[in-house]
Amino acid sequence: MRALSALTATIAIPFLLLLAGCSACSTRPSDPEQVRQATANATSELKNDTKALAEGIRDGLKRPSADHPIDLNTATQSQLETLPGISDDTAARIVANRPYHSAHDLIDRRLVTPAEYKQISDRITTK
């Protein structure tokens, strides 16, 4: 959460300064109501963009990787579908054939091909 706050501040502060600078450089007198409305609109857009950015970061952190492998015995079907080359049918078969003693059981039970296993072997584990 601290990183998100820092990221928001990193984006928001320069944007608001830019908006204020553009308003100050104008040759016509600025109407405080127009400035207020423009600032409110810019802040609203920034809030939406920041929310999307935070969701993207959260999704990226949840993706399976060598540092954060998926446990074949506890992963949901939708989590298994995030693995490269794993279709919804394959993920359903993996769930249906639990438990697994090792990740290599996927090949032994012919649930995935050796080529598919090679793509996901560093992203899966069994506990």
**Residue 58 pLDDT:** 78
**Residue 95 pLDDT:** 97
Burial class (CB in 10 A: 0-12, 13-18, 19+), 86: buried
**Residue 16 pLDDT:** 60
Domain range annotation of the chain: 2-62, 70-125
* pTM metric for this prediction: 0.54
Residue with tokens 């693995």: 83
Q: Which CATH architecture has domain 70-125?
A: Orthogonal Bundle (1.10)
Tokens of 96: 């249906």
- Alpha carbons 67 and 25: distance in angstroms, whole number: 50
**Residue-level pLDDT, tens digit, the chain, 127 residues:** 555 555 555 665 666 656 666 555 555 657 888 888 988 888 888 888 888 888 888 777 677 777 789 999 999 999 999 999 999 999 999 999 999 999 999 999 999 999 999 999 999 999 8
**Residue 52 pLDDT:** 85
